[in-house]
A and B are shown apart, each in its own frame.
Chain A
Amino acid sequence: MKNRTFMGLKTWALIVWVFLAAIQQGSGAVRPEIPVDVMGRLILQDGGRKKPFDTYSRENLVKLTGRAKWISPEGKRWSAIEVMTDLALGTNNWLGEKIIRIGYIPLKEQLGLETTEKFFSYRDIRSQSEVSSKLMGILNPRDGSTPSTQLATEARKLVGQLNQLEKLTGAEAFAWIPVSGGGRWLHVEDAPQTYSTRGPDILLAYRAMQQAYRLGDVPEFQKQTRAFRSHLESLGGPELYPSKRMKMELIYNYVHPFRWAWIVFLVSFVLLLFPGTSCQRGSKSYCIAMSLFGTAILLQICGFALRTLISGRAPVTNMYEVLIFMALGASVIAYIYEIMYRQKVLVQAASVVAALTLILADNLPAVFDPSIQPLVPVLQSNWWLTVHVITITIGYGAFLLAMGVGHIAMARYLFYTTDRKTIDNLTRFNYRTMQIGVLFLAAGTLLGGLWAEKAWGRFWGWDPKETWALIALLLYLAVLHARYVRWIGGFGLNAASVLAFQGIVMAGYGVNYLLGTGKHSYGFGVGGELIVGIFVLLELILVLLAVMRHKQSIKSSKGTQA
């Protein structure tokens, strides 16, 4: 009797809450004040692999908003898992929320949308027949002309976002129920049909979980979510519902090793600006900075280890992973130098370039997709893939470090009166670093050729990716040979280390994002042109200024001699 009254109260509360939610619909989604992290450990099947709900949430929110968090028009912060839990269990009408990010201004202009706005709702686009037909018009022009490729790409991306949100508002997006034998997982409503004994319990637990969420009943929600999970776990072995492996992915998601790495790198850089070059001589700042630098390297290694454990392969298959590996390569080389030769300036350079590279990778999830995807068939050769990409990326890392050293040298030419000894020292290590880069880039490129020879018999095929690797290699070879015949001096070598790095940018980023042809298509992506363009331009300006300054100083020194 007591129990029934309680249930009745609950139902009433639910009705009132739904009513309130309905009234509030115009003024934005209401977030039940309920911690939903417990949902993160549930497992979903998506994109060809099993992943925790936490990862699924993060990936979807990035796809919709281009951000890791969503801030509602009222200024409320929603984490990815909060948004996705509400989509799965809540009653908010997400089709009316301004959650779809359109960044490309020409697209907004074409669609007649407010260009100053960044976020739009599904309804803003699909329910406005004018906007909707304009969007279709961009994708299928009536006159048969091909629209400017970026406009079409962005329009296609927008359609993808809209479709994804539409899918997420339906039950199909949340396939909670595992099915053995690699089949498609089921929605919870289908559980009783497939699992006649446990199915009804699963459905009941799910309903209870949903109700508790809607009521904001925190302990009940946590209890029911755990019950739901343990029901699912009991359907098959850990092979079918690998809760333990998912835990690793959750740790990876929460710890953010690569984010911490760049923060630590930056702190260590600041501390390295203080004088002191050795622990023995009692320089505390140096000691701390070097330990931090080492910690950052360890953090990166942990990150890689986790990614390897999650995906079951070396993390070397997309641009994001290449970027973070480059940072690791540069910092490890600098650390070894420090141990062997005590060259603090190299560690300084490394901490900056590594931090910047990691920041770039960490903050552009729409461009450099950090999600873990299953391996496309052409790459399914662990040994060759690992050896080939890691070798090449260490080469990139070395050139990244050389570029950093080059910058320090440029800065010295620009802002200090040239101190020959320091410059010569920088030049010497820059030269050495480029040699390391040449060794690894050459070896990596050749290994790629040997892999191709082994896999289908063709060593070299002038594929754009391999051609650009060769171009980058040739650029550095030209620099090293020119230095050897003394066509360029110390200044030339340092300037060249900055300029030739643009070849690496092209080989790494340009081929995948700008050229978009060839056999390495699995790594292709879009976006980031502006940032990379500005970077390249700034580099050119920097070198130009340094050249001018250098010439001036030569002239003036000649003048004083005369």
Chain B
Amino acid sequence: MISKQIIKKLGSLKLAVVLISVISCVLIAATLVEAKYSTEMAVNLIYGSWWFSSLLFLLSLNVISSALVRYPWRRSQYGFLMTHSGIVIILVGAIVGLLGGREGYITLSENGAAVDSLTTGREVLQIGRSGEKSYLRVPLNLDRIKKSTAPIRISSESILPPETLQASIVSRYAHTEDRTVVSQGESGFNPALEISIRPPSADEVDDIREWMVSNDPERQILQMGPLFIRLMKAETEERLQTLLNPPAVSETGGLGKLNFKVEGVPFELNVHQWLGKEMKSEDGKITIALKEYFADFRMAEEEGKPVSASDQPNNPAIRYEVSWGGEAEPKTAVGFAFADYPDLAMMHVEGAGEKAVEVLYDFDRSMMDVGIFAENSVVFLIAGPGEQLHYVARRPGEERHSGPVELGKILPLEGWKMNPGLSVVQYLQNAEVRQVVTPIPLEEDSGFSRPALELQLTGGGHSTNVVIQWNRPFEVMAGADPENRVPVTLLYTDERIPLGFKVQLLKFNMPTFEGTQMPASYESLIRVTDQETGEALERKVWMNHPMSYGGYRISQSGYSQGMGAARSTLQLLADPGSWLKWLGSILLMLGITVMYFWNPDKKKSSEANSNKETDQTTA
């Protein structure tokens, strides 16, 4: 009885008029907010708010109830019923779309790599065990993070064992920068020097201080105008001596030497002499071929193969092949030897153990005389072995001179026209380098900066605050039991949704209206490949002509042309509720037509009606 009363109230026309009026006013306010401020503001304040959704929910209750109240329905009410069910179906479609829909963008370069996931424009925090594929995706509500004073807890039980790690979001910084902090650690030999530069001519100015770290390629070389400073490490006394007294270029041909040990048998090959040739041992059992020389070794990202980025010996490397063991037991080793990274073994051995072949590429003996170093003033700082510290310095066209370095004392480079006033302040043998992230105010324009998230991590009884930067994986050892800790990786990044298929841009086209630069169309020729079956489709996507694939509607959204390859941005939208919207719309349109313009009782009652002075309402 009571429920009938409630439905009657809910379905009343008066409530309908009030609701419609209120919703109209709210919408007017929303469009004004959007025009005055921004679309995001209107969405945050109104369209996306809980109370606006409640209003729409109330409206649909009103629409449903008003239909239920009138049961059993007469023939003349069919139009009214269709109209109202159309409205409800559209609203249900909206809810289905909201819950199950996915949308985002992919940006493709012409003939570039295929993309298999879309970015939604939202930010997420990913938490997962290091090295494992599955991870927890926490969508971030930036507005909430901004407003909230207390840390926002994230429940990570679904991906990590309970009590392993409890993370809470403390705050988000729009801009951060990292500072390098170098300290003495317990790990291996990794010399680091804090150097100071203060030219005597500029004694009013503070000195420039910088850390140089020998294991970090970005911190090995420091350039100060025409002066190059390079930090090198010498593990042994013997290496120190070769670094201090390198043989002349004429002896090495400028490309250094390769020292091989094949099953304990040593070989020394002058690269200049042997490049592109095969060297056979005296018994003919061992063959060494130096295949290729890379002055500036890089892995080319797109082709996935090594290239030389320049002809400067910034990262000299040799590709070699060694074969031995004869026909009965053929053994081969192929790989790369790096002059600057003797520890980095990129070698593939077949038929023998990993340690069967040892390679050392001795390039740096003549480094001072080739490439950038040949034409500039150069100071090599040589750290090791142990606490020893030496320097070798040379100006172009002059003899090199060398000597020991005393901490805190300016290097004796008096003969130089521009004395850099270089001194070593600190020397750490086993350096550990950490990046410390500090938030910086928005106004400050420091060139490159990135957003970061400050987290409070709790586990094993204590908690720490860490700042993790955009797109930089952050690893922590988590777990209550110190013996059994789990490596956990945290990543603050764009939300990405895997598509299940790959999209590649073959060609982007922008025809213009005749005689103008005005675009007449934007057309992307794309190839879509199913990741499971490998089936590929090629389609042209342009305005009003989207492609439907895998539940998504793929449509042209943006482009950029100019420098380099053309780029095209496609919008991908999956809406599982779209058929409801079509159905609801059609029902609604039919319903209004029937309701207003078709009266089944009219023929019978037309006589009676014609005399009536009051308005005719068929609903």
Residues of chain A at the chain B interface (Cβ within 8 Å): 45-50, 175, 182-185, 374, 377-378, 380-381, 384, 421, 424, 427-428, 431, 435-436, 438-439, 442-443, 446-447, 449-450, 453-460, 462, 464, 467-468, 470-471, 474-475, 477-478, 481-485, 487, 511, 514-518
Contacts and interface: CB of A to CB of B under 8 A. Distances in A.
B497 to A, nearest CB: 15
Given A457-B574, A467-B31, A517-B35, A48 B21 contact: no
Nearest to B511: A182
A456 B514 contact: no
15 contacts: A182-B511, A183-B514, A380-B521, A380-B543, A381-B544, A421-B613, A449-B581, A456-B573, A460-B94, A462-B30, A478-B20, A478-B21, A482-B17, A485-B13, A517-B39
Contact of A377 (B521, B578, B615): B521
Contacts of B24: 471, 474-475, 478
A129 to B, nearest CB: 32
A45 B518 CA distance: 13
B571 interface: yes
A362 to B, nearest CB: 27
B524 interface: no
B1 to A, nearest CB: 24
Chain B's interface size range is 35 or more
Most chain B beta-carbon contacts within 10 A, residue among A446, A449, A475: A446
Interface string B85-111: 000000001100100000100000000
Contacts of B615: 424, 427-428, 431, 483
Interface of B: 13-14, 16-17, 20-21, 23-24, 27-28, 30-32, 34-35, 39, 42-43, 47, 93-94, 97, 103, 511-516, 518-522, 542-544, 546, 552-553, 555, 557, 571, 573-575, 578, 581-582, 585, 588-589, 592-593, 596-597, 613-617, 619
A48 B514 contact: yes
A458 B575 contact: yes
Nearest to B59: A474
Given A49-B514, A475-B24, A515 B588 contact: no
A446 B555 CA distance: 21
Contacts of B519: 377
Contacts of B511: 182
Contacts of A447: 585
B515 A175 contact: yes
Q: Among A185, A424, A442, A487, find the residue whose CB has the most chain B CB atoms closer than 10 A.
A: A442
Given A446-B585, A464-B35, A468-B31, A474 B20 contact: yes
A454 B542 CA distance: 12
B555 A485 contact: no
A467 B582 contact: no
A47 B516 contact: yes
B27 A487 contact: no
A424 B613 CA distance: 7
5 A-B pairs closest in CB distance: A48-B513, A457-B553, A457-B573, A456-B555, A381-B544
B513 A462 contact: no
Contacts of A443: 589, 592
Contacts of B555: 455-457
Contact of A470 (B27, B42, B512, B516): B27
A386 to B, nearest CB: 13
Contacts of A475: 24
Given A183-B515, A517-B39, A462 B47 contact: yes
A49 B34 CA distance: 35
A470 B47 CA distance: 14
Contacts of B47: 462
B578 A459 contact: yes
Nearest to B39: A517
Which of A46, A381, A459, A485 has the most B CB atoms < 10 Å from its CB? Answer: A459
A517 B592 contact: no
A426 to B, nearest CB: 11
Nearest to B589: A443
A481 B63 CA distance: 12
Given A438-B592, A456-B553, A467 B27 contact: yes
B489 to A, nearest CB: 34
A76 B372 CA distance: 78
A457 to B, nearest CB: 3
A49 B518 CA distance: 11
B51 to A, nearest CB: 15
Contacts of B521: 377, 380
Nearest to A517: B35
Contacts of B43: 462
A231 B522 CA distance: 36
Contact of B582 (A421, A453, A481): A453
A48 B553 CA distance: 31
Most buried by B among A175, A431, A456: A456
Given A456-B571, A474-B21, A481-B17, 15 more contacts: A45-B515, A48-B520, A185-B515, A380-B521, A380-B544, A424-B614, A427-B615, A431-B617, A435-B596, A439-B593, A442-B588, A443-B592, A450-B581, A453-B575, A457-B575
Contacts of B613: 421, 424
